[in-house]
Amino acid sequence: MISHFKKWISILLTLTLIAGCAPKPIEVNEDEVLFKKIAQLVQAERNNFAYVDSLEYTLGSVLSGGGSHPTSNNAAGWRNLVSQYQKQSPTPIIYGVDAVHGHNNLKGATIFPHNIGLGATQDEDLLYRIGVATGKEVSATGVHWNFAPTLAVAQDIRWGRTYESYSEDHNIVSSLGLAYIKGLQSTGIAATAKHFLADGATKFNPDSGYKLDQGDAPLDEETLRRIHLYPYYEAIQEGEVLTVMISYSSINGEKLHGSKYWITDVLKGELGFKGLVISDWEAIHQLEGSLYQQIVQSMNAGIDMLMQPFNWKSVVDTMFRAVKNNDISRERIDDAYERVMYVKTQLGLLDNTFEMANESVINSNEHKALAREAVAKSLVLLKNQNQVLPLQKTAKILLIGPGIDNAGLASGGWTFSWQGENSSQNLPQATTLKKAFEAVASAHGGMITTDRSKINEVDVVILALAELPYAEEVGDATDLSLTGSMMHPDNQDAINFAKTSNKPVVTILTAGRPRLIHEELKDWDAFVMAWLYGSEAAGITDVLYGDLDFTGKLPFTWPKTSNTDVISSQNSQRDVNQILFDIGYGLKTR
């Protein structure tokens, strides 16, 4: 590593000499230097970038896409993965993952609630601590860079990435995003503010083919700045976030990946962002023209590193040609290169002072307790009739519905795999709702059953409804009813059973966004929104049994219809007739 450092220093000295117009040292091949610099501006995916490749193409970065992990999916396996690349690379790579709710690609990691649930807590201190915990688990695997947090201010909950957004309110997004960035970066891990800009403002318009994910945001500049740019000010100026990822989406028809105005003038100029700007996964291919033209446009717009999981080799070669042809200036390449080096320097990669956390932090008792606290604080109580809550610890309880014993559904997309898991199988670390109920009941002489034939023996029915897991465009939904897009097929049967049970019913909804409940709500005595809470369902029983009271408040307006583009509190044309519960609503039991 020391010799790598020396090599890097010597390249740097040479470059400084060139820049200073000193006589050219004869031994330096300028093209080789340029080629190496350009390789630093490209990121490949581990599956498509073998260790030997890094000998020839010393890429700046390697990532694990959603769910991508080493064969041994444990701390040692991950450390080995990263260190193999480092051994081959004269300039250390920076390794990135999406640890968007805990280190979610790592088997056995603590899975925190997705951002929408954390938005309900409005607890900055909690977000800071979750940033620290996530940073430590990431660091323990030798990874340096986390593509989080999402600073989307989602305006239409039909969007499949709504759960990655803290709130429809930019103030909540901003304060929680900032707290998380500070926590994460305090552990020596780089954060990413994403996706710049207005990824949460895309407009759904089936008639003109507009979609929500990767769609278009038709907005005036004042609204863009006031709502969607705002969290970036805080992230950059207060949080000193090291990286920013560009959004697949467009603003008024212009793709962000090609926008010099938003990236160079506003983000780097006005906001003074000093770190590195990365493109999203193959996103430059959504720009017009050939690969050559896509690279020229995106680099000239101000992107510093291209996330090109598969075709990284032709991207390096093509960018090299574009610079030789003067279609991308050398100054632009130098700026991008310096920004990549700046981030690597900040993380201690170049002088080998990057410090890995001890692997004992992974799903430690402390992290489990933190996740449990987060779950308890994220729950929002929307109805509680006849004081059915809190439950008696001695109560006899029937659990029904697809959400009762399934950690995959509780965690949603970006958990173990990109689209998430349909069962608990790959999440053995998780406490499911059923396990959490059983723990309380067995300690206090209560009774928990999932056997519907025991209905006459029980005091109360817990109806656990769930969405299927999804990520990105797969989650775009046109029908938000309880049987609509992305809802689990078993919900209806459980709803019917509960309705005719003649017992008090407490409904718990596990979902990445509000769903339409106004017709069913009258059949339920209590209704709790649990979001995508992750691996620590004991946080739910802590509150249901009354050890803690509910404190969560809705981070999004709750709709009455699927026309959810007109309900956000940030929308000047808001239609109050479409609203069931307003943002900020949430009951207590005492």
Write out the catalytic residue numbers. 280, 472
Q: What share of the chain is helix, strand, coil (3-state, %, to 5)?
A: 40, 15, 45
Q: Of 552, 577, 208, which Cα lies nearest the Cα of 376?
A: 552
The answer to the question of residue 147 lying near ligand BGC (CB under 6 A) is yes
Residue whose tokens read 């997705």: 114
Least separation in angstroms between residue 202's CB and ligand BGC is: 13
The answer to the question of residue 215 lying near ligand BGC (CB under 6 A) is no
The answer to the question of residue 418 lying near ligand BGC (CB under 6 A) is yes
Residue 511 tokens, joined: 């979902």
Among 60, 65, 412, 446, binds ligand BGC (CB under 6 A): 65
Least separation in angstroms between residue 284's CB and ligand BGC is: 13
Q: Check residue 358 and report its DSSP letter.
A: P
Least separation in angstroms between residue 498's CB and ligand BGC is: 37
Nearest-angstrom CA–CA distance, 294 and 296:
5
Among 98, 168, 304, 536, binds ligand BGC (CB under 6 A): 98
CA torsion angle 10 13 17 19 (round to 10): 120
Where do runs of H (alpha helix) occur along 229-381? Answer: 230-233, 260, 291-301, 312-324, 330-346, 365-378
Among 60, 67, 135, 408, binds ligand BGC (CB under 6 A): 67
Nearest-angstrom CA–CA distance, 561 and 61:
45
Nearest-angstrom CA–CA distance, 552 and 371:
15
Amino acid at 254: E
Crossing angle (nearest 10°) for helices 330-346 and 30-39: 60
Q: Of 184, 69, 84, 91, which Cα lies nearest the Cα of 138?
A: 184
Binding segment for ligand BGC (CB under 6 A), chosen from 60-68, 366-374, 381-389, 393-401, is 60-68
Between 180 and 199, how does the x/- string for binding to ligand BGC read (CB under 6 A)? --------------x-----
Contact 38, 316 (CB under 8 A): yes
Least separation in angstroms between residue 71's CB and ligand BGC is: 17
Among 38, 54, 61, 66, binds ligand BGC (CB under 6 A): 66
Binding segment for ligand BGC (CB under 6 A), chosen from 66-74, 364-372, 453-461, 542-550, is 66-74
Least separation in angstroms between residue 150's CB and ligand BGC is: 7
Beta strands in 467-585 (DSSP E): 505-510, 526-529, 558-559, 579-581
> Which is closer to ligand BGC, CB of 241 or CB of 458?
241
Least separation in angstroms between residue 475's CB and ligand BGC is: 12
Least separation in angstroms between residue 186's CB and ligand BGC is: 21
Least separation in angstroms between residue 278's CB and ligand BGC is: 9
> Which is closer to ligand BGC, CB of 194 or CB of 383?
194
The answer to the question of residue 92 lying near ligand BGC (CB under 6 A) is no
Residue 101 tokens, joined: 């709710």
> Which is closer to ligand BGC, CB of 67 or CB of 475?
67
Among 123, 168, 216, 280, binds ligand BGC (CB under 6 A): 280
B/e letters for 418-454, b = 16+ CB within 10 Å, e = fewer, are: bbbbeebebbebbbbbbbbbbebbeeeebbbbeeeee
Binding segment for ligand BGC (CB under 6 A), chosen from 64-72, 167-175, 290-298, 364-372, is 64-72
> Which is closer to ligand BGC, CB of 166 or CB of 550?
166
Q: Of 169, 167, 578, which Cα lies nearest the Cα of 380?
A: 167
Residue 8 tokens, joined: 């890097």
The answer to the question of residue 281 lying near ligand BGC (CB under 6 A) is yes
Binding segment for ligand BGC (CB under 6 A), chosen from 49-57, 59-67, 261-269, 508-516, is 59-67
Binding segment for ligand BGC (CB under 6 A), chosen from 62-70, 83-91, 110-118, 475-483, is 62-70
Which residue minimizes CB distance to ligand BGC? 65
The site for ligand BGC (CB under 6 A) is made up of 65-68, 98, 147, 194, 280-281, 418, 472
